[in-house]
Amino acid sequence: MSLNVEILHSKSLKPVVTVQVGSSANVLDVKKAIQAQKSYLYPDRIMLRLEATGKPLKDEEKVSGNVKLYFKDLGPQVGWTTVFLTEYAGPLVIYLIFYLRPAFIYGSRSVKYQDVTNLACACWVFHYAKRLLETIFVHRFSHATMPIRNIFKNSFYYWGFAAFVAYFNNHPLYTPAAFGSLQIYIGFFGFLFNELGNLSIHLALRDLRPAGSKVRKIPFPTSNPFTFLFNFVSCPNYTYEIGSWIFFSIMTQSLPAFLFTLAGGYQMVIWALGKHRNYRREFEKYPRGRKAIFPFLL
């Protein structure tokens, strides 16, 4: 027995295509049937809903009876891994160009870097090398792709700020921290602490989702002490990430670094609030005392 599924455009409500699928078909099967008739519409590019403005259907949801589904074209897609590798490789390479080739940037052949300049470069490289390795070996994505336009938008942000921060941090006229070594080392060790915390949270989140699945569970602290923040916030990875850049900015006493921290922090707050809402909506027993990103505050 087969089912007839009529696909309508979610905006114009005009028919797009009618497909036939088996009686036990799920949403992914419908997407594949659409692709069979319109080859450019591969499954990751298709969003289907039961109502024109309703909630997107998950691939594993079953299709029951002869139904109408509403279609949205998400546009050309690119894999999350490709996006992350592009986003994070750029800042690493760009910063190193400013650090290793000052004559090319500033026209000065001999630049004797101060200790804080060397530490700042080490911290920057460590952070983005960590991100690249996490992308390859740690992260498990609930969605396989994202719109290809995002790779340009995100890369412009990361690459642009990398050049902005690197230009001033490696400049021959760079002025180090006003409070000397104490300020530098507070910033340095604070940065390392938060980087380890961020990595610990990413590992804990990875262990919640079996490889190759889209399973979502409530995250709780593990035996790793850095994960204690799960007692207070839904997205401690963002809490630690913001902490890293606050301490990096303290260490370098650099206005571009502070601006980078503010811009990134604002975006992470938005992401955290969205994920926090999703957790509370999806899990009836989600801990009500948790905030989104800042303990007891937000």
Instruction: Let me know: does 198 contact 241? Beta carbons within 8 Å.
Output: yes
Find residue 45's DSSP bridge partners. Answer: none
pLDDT at position 33, please? 92
In this predicted structure, what is the pLDDT of residue 178? 85
User: Do 108 and 69 belong together in one domain?
Assistant: no
Radius of gyration of the CA atoms of the chain, in A: 24
pLDDT, tens only, 227-265:
999 999 999 999 999 999 999 999 999 999 999 999 999
How much is the pLDDT for 109? 65
Q: Judge whether 294 lies within some domain.
A: no
Q: Are 186 and 114 contained in the same domain?
A: yes
Per-residue pLDDT band at 110 (split at 50, 70, 90): low
Are 194 and 249 contained in the same domain?
Answer: yes
Confidence of residue 212 (pLDDT cuts 50, 70, 90): low
Q: Is the pLDDT of residue 1 over 90?
A: no
Rounded to the nearest integer, the mean pLDDT of the chain is 91
Band of pLDDT at residue 130, cut at 50, 70 and 90 = very high
Q: What pLDDT is stored for residue 204 in this prediction?
A: 94
Q: How many domains does the chain have?
A: 2
- The answer to whether residue 293 is domain-embedded is no
- 29 and 129 co-located in one domain: no
Distance CA 82, CA 143 (A): 13
Examine residue 166 and state whether it is found in any structural domain, yes or no.
yes
As a whole number, mean pLDDT of residues 263-276 equals: 96
pLDDT in tens, 148-176: 888 999 999 999 999 999 999 999 888 88
93/6 same-domain check? no
Say whether both 60 and 202 belong to one domain.
no
Q: How many CB atoms lie within 10 A of CB 108?
A: 11
Q: Would you say residue 213 has pLDDT above 70?
A: no
Among 26, 51, 74, the domain-final residue is 74
Return the residue matching tokens 């630049």.
111
Question: Does residue 167 sit in the same domain as residue 268?
Answer: yes
**Domain housing 192:** 78-282
Residue 182 lies in a domain: yes
CA separation for the pair 11, 210 (Å, rounded): 36
Q: Assess if residue 296 is contained within a domain.
A: no
- Are 15 and 25 in contact by the 8 Å Cβ rule? The answer is no
Q: What is the CATH number of the domain that holds 13?
A: 3.10.20.90
| Count of C-beta atoms within a 10 Å radius of residue 223 | 6
- Same domain? For 153 and 260 the reply is yes
Is 187 inside a domain boundary?
Answer: yes
Residue 287, domain member (yes or no): no
What is the per-residue pLDDT for 23?
81
Query: β-pairing, 77-79 with 145-147?
Result: antiparallel
Domain match, 105 and 198 both: yes
Report the pLDDT value the prediction gives residue 176, as an integer from 0 to 100: 86
Whole-angstrom distance, CA of residue 150 vs CA of residue 56: 20
Residue 132 has pLDDT above 90, yes or no: yes
d(CA 257, CA 96): 16
In tens, the pLDDT along 8-34 reads 999 998 989 999 888 888 999 999 999
- The partner residues of 28 in beta bridges, in order of sequence, read none
Cα 168 from Cα 105, distance rounded (Å): 11
* b (16+ CB within 10 A) / e for 284-294: eeeeeebbbbe
- pLDDT score for 150: 86
- In terms of Cα–Cα distance, which of 280, 266, 268 is closest to 237? 268
At residue 115, does pLDDT exceed 80? yes
Q: Which residue has the higher pLDDT, 123 or 54?
A: 123
In the prediction, which pLDDT does 9 show? Answer: 92
Select the more confidently predicted residue: 51 or 144.
51
Judge if 44 and 108 occupy the same domain: no
Residue 203, domain member (yes or no): yes
Q: If you average pLDDT over residues 47-59, what whole number do you get?
A: 89
- Both 82 and 110 in one domain: the answer is yes
Together in a domain, 47 and 98: no
pLDDT attached to residue 22? 86
